[in-house]
């Protein structure tokens, strides 16, 4: 009985903590003063990617993107306009291909620091389908849960449109997309934990012997 419960727990955990296999994260930027405004890849990586430096009108201190679980993508940006500009900075971070298909996607959009007069539109995508979008003119955070109507393989993307509107300032933004397992996987996960707890309660002598050395 104990082995079956542990197997159920491990099956659920495998969905949550297995390392992504073969997926690549890319960071792309676009600004009117660089490459004619075309979207340009500036960094790639297997489980993370980062970029810093001057790009068009912007002195970008850091853009980092990473994943931990099989279905997640998190991006942090910290951008400073080098000169007052009306040209927006477009950031697109994409991870592909992802093979584990979840039951739902949880998108979290956050503005941690935004200068007066600036606006930032944040958007999450699965393939070419928009999951969630919001526009910020100050500090704040919003979330949305979406059903996952995708097949394997698929891609996740996080988009930032940073508009200084002619003012010098700074922006610090965060986006994340997390894939939640199907209800049946959560059920196995909960059953496994409950079962392991019951095993500890029903085997007190084994526990006492373990620490009586």
How many CA within 13 A on the CB side of residue 19?
6
With beta carbons less than 8 A apart as the criterion, state whether 117 and 169 touch: yes
What residues contact residue 166 under an 8 Å CB cut-off, 6+ apart? 84, 85, 86, 117
With beta carbons less than 8 A apart as the criterion, state whether 136 and 149 touch: no
What residues contact residue 204 under an 8 Å CB cut-off, 6+ apart? none
Q: Which residues pair with 140 in a beta bridge?
A: 111
Each residue's pLDDT tens digit in the chain (213 positions)?
444 444 444 444 444 444 455 899 999 999 999 999 999 999 999 989 999 999 999 999 999 999 877 677 888 888 888 788 889 999 999 999 999 888 899 999 999 999 999 999 999 999 999 999 999 999 999 999 999 889 999 999 999 999 999 998 999 999 999 998 765 554 444 444 455 455 555 554 433 333 333
Q: Quote helix, strand, coil % in the chain, to nearest 5.
A: 20, 50, 30
- Structure confidence at residue 22 (pLDDT): 80
Instruction: Look up the pTM and report it.
Output: 0.79
Characterize the bridge pairing of strands 104-114 and 170-180: antiparallel
Give the largest CA-CA distance in the chain. Answer: 73
Q: Domains of the chain, with CATH numbers?
A: 21-188 (2.60.120.380)
């Amino acid at each position: 009985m104990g082995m079956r419960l542990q197997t159920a727990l491990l099956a659920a955990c495998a969905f949550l903590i297995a390392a992504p296999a073969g997926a690549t994260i890319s960071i792309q930027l676009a600004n009117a003063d660089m490459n004619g405004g075309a979207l340009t890849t500036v960094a790639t990586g297997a489980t993370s990617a980062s970029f810093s430096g001057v790009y068009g009108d912007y002195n970008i201190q850091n853009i980092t993107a990473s994943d931990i679980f099989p279905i997640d993508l998190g991006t942090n940006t910290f951008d400073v306009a080098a000169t007052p500009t009306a040209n927006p900075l477009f950031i697109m971070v994409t991870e592909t291909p992802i093979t584990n298909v979840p039951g739902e996607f949880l998108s979290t959009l956050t503005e941690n620091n935004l200068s007066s007069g600036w606006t930032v539109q944040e958007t999450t995508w699965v393939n070419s389908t928009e999951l969630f979008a919001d526009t910020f003119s100050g500090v704040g955070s919003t979330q949305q849960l979406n059903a996952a109507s995708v097949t394997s393989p698929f891609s996740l993307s996080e988009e930032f449109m940073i508009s200084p509107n002619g003012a010098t300032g700074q922006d610090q933004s965060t986006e994340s997309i997390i894939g939640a397992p199907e209800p049946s996987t959560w059920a196995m996960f909960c059953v496994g934990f409950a079962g392991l707890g019951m095993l500890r309660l029903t085997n007190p002598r084994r526990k006492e012997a373990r620490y009586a050395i």
